[in-house]
Amino acid sequence: MNLRLPIAATLALIAGCATAPKPLQGDFVSRSPREPAALGERVRWGGAVIAVEPQSGRTCFQILARPLAANGRPRETDDSEGRFLACRAGFYDPAVFTAGREVTVVGSADGSESRTVGDYPLDLPRVAAEAIHLWPQRVDTRYRYAPYHFWSPLGHHGWWWPSIRYHRVPHVRAREAAPTASPPDPQ
């Protein structure tokens, strides 16, 4: 039996799972926001949205950077690669891009901007975004055992009465927004 076709189809399916969406594909500088890229270099950074600032003609996102997986999605980790700003022309609704949502940004390095977090001054790298990809919310799926009634002529113990049996039922709930990390203490 020729197994080449099923193996090739399986490998294509597995490779498709790790592929980044079209707008996030390409060649990028492998630097994190901690070591900002030179002006004009193409970067692909991602993380959790901290704040969205609609301005006239553009929208700026303040993002807590996280390492990216092979498909371009930010990894679920407490490690932070700092913060960065991503600005793109147009209006992006802050009700959709809420705090904690995961985004990946593709664009070119566009200098830096001074911001304060509390009383702590930060110099955040800025990206002129070509694409901002909002990832679907991650969902926790936990199982619970739920009873159901089963009427059988033999029943659970071989008698003629209803018996209670249990089966696994998914208990799905959206994850809570990830807390934002505070900057390191200056030393």
Q: What is the pLDDT of residue 39?
A: 85
Q: What is the pLDDT of residue 62?
A: 94
User: Tens digits of per-residue pLDDT, 121-144?
Assistant: 989 999 999 989 999 988 766 665
Q: What is the pLDDT of residue 173?
A: 58
Q: What is the pLDDT of residue 4?
A: 66
Best CA proximity match to 50, nearest among 181, 175, 176: 181
pTM for the whole thing?
0.66
